[in-house]
């Protein structure tokens, strides 16, 4: 088990993987070779994770960078909410 976690850490350090950790969930990994930046929505009930991209977020990031006279190189946004699907806790979790 330790070998796997050490390997995952090396993949993250080398830029080949991206690590995410949401609230009380264990770490999740995505490959970085074809990684396109996106943000996440996590359901408080079923813990399903949905990915999304919105160009307005990049506009806000640029405006904040200008106001702080900073070159913002990355960001992380996780929105938590409740699904509107009845019995969402029965859905398959990621």
Under 8 Å CB-to-CB from 60, ≥6 apart: which residues? Answer: none
Task: Give one DSSP letter per residue of the chain, joined into a string.
Answer: -HHHHHHHHHHHHTTSEEEE--TTSPPEEEESTT----EEEEETTT--EEEE--HHHHHHHHHHHHHTT--------EEEE--SSTTGGGSPP-
Confidence band of 84 (pLDDT split at 50, 70, 90): confident
What tens digit of pLDDT does each residue of 7-60 get?
999 999 998 988 888 887 778 888 887 778 899 998 888 888 899 999 999 999
- How many C-beta neighbours within 10 Å does residue 43 have? 19
Query: What domains are defined for the chain?
Result: 1-35 (no CATH), 36-94 (3.30.1490.190)
| Higher pLDDT among residues 89 and 11, named by residue | 11
* Residue reference for tokens 């009380």: 24
Full-model pTM = 0.71
What does the alpha-carbon distance between residue 66 and residue 36 come to, in Å, rounded to a whole number?
23
């Amino acid at each position: 088990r330790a070998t796997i976690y050490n390997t995952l850490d090396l993949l993250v350090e080398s830029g080949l993987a991206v690590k995410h950790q949401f609230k009380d969930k264990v770490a999740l990994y995505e490959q970085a070779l074809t990684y396109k930046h996106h943000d996440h929505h996590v359901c408080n009930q079923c813990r399903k994770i949905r990915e999304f991209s919105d160009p307005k977020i990049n506009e806000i990031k640029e405006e904040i960078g200008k106001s702080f006279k900073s070159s913002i190189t990355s960001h992380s946004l996780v929105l938590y909410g409740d699904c509107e699907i009845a019995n969402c806790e029965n859905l398959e979790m990621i």
